[in-house]
Amino acid sequence: MSDAALRAQALEGLAERLRGCTRCPLSEGRTMVVVGAGDPDADLMFIGEAPGANEDRTGLPFVGQAGGLLDGLLGGIGLSREQVFIANVLKCRPPGNRDPRPEEIAECRGFLVEQVALVRPRVICALGNFATRLLSGHPDGIGRVHGQPLPITMGGVDAILYPVYHPVAALYTRAMLGTLQEDFARIPSLLTAGSAPASPRSRAPRPAPAPPGVEATSQLGLF
């Protein structure tokens, strides 16, 4: 079995565990667990905050209007949803789409680290304030750091964290679409530049490390 097939198999095993997860109270109100979807061999991974109503109903990440906009942004740089991997920090929808709580993040974060360890992306695109602050470990808002790459290590994987506005921002403020398009236009160069800052990328599967598993190797405040 190929390396990619092994990692796909491991991701499906993780998905099965997540579908039965009852580690936090969000499991009591969900319709479906939104594990994540896409290419298990993707060089580019997107991480959002948490599922919304459409995602909770379908079990798929980034559907509805925001998902359609993300698809369009990907198409603008010659990519499709099938060529990337999309996930969220939380795998279950918070009631009323409220902000995730610290205890929910603590219970779910290890699953995200495991996904990153299995997919081994070169670039991790953080969508919006919440994902950016959590993954970078810094308090700077998306308005300050969007479009600015940050080398990180997550799940034993050296990658580039690339913060961009959440696509939903462009649904409320149409002028934001141009900013998103400009930031997305830089992604191909990040992918082709070889974005593992500390060591060459290894495709060999490995056991997923325990959380927290995220270490920033630069400072967002320098951008």
* pLDDT digits (tens), the chain, 223 positions: 788 889 999 999 999 999 999 999 999 999 999 999 999 999 999 999 999 999 999 999 999 899 999 999 999 999 999 999 999 999 999 999 899 999 999 999 999 999 999 999 999 999 999 999 999 999 999 999 999 999 999 999 999 999 999 999 999 998 999 999 999 999 999 999 754 443 333 333 333 333 334 443 332 222 2
| Per-residue model confidence (pLDDT) at position 204 | 35
DSSP assignments along 173-185, one per residue: -TTHHHHHHHHHH
CB-based contacts of 63, cutoff 8 Å, min separation 6: 54, 55
CA 100, 106, 111, 114 torsion: positive or negative? positive
**Amino acid 160: pLDDT:** 97
Could you give the CA distance from residue 60 to residue 54 in angstroms, rounded to a whole number?
Answer: 8
For the chain, which domains are there?
3-193 (3.40.470.10)
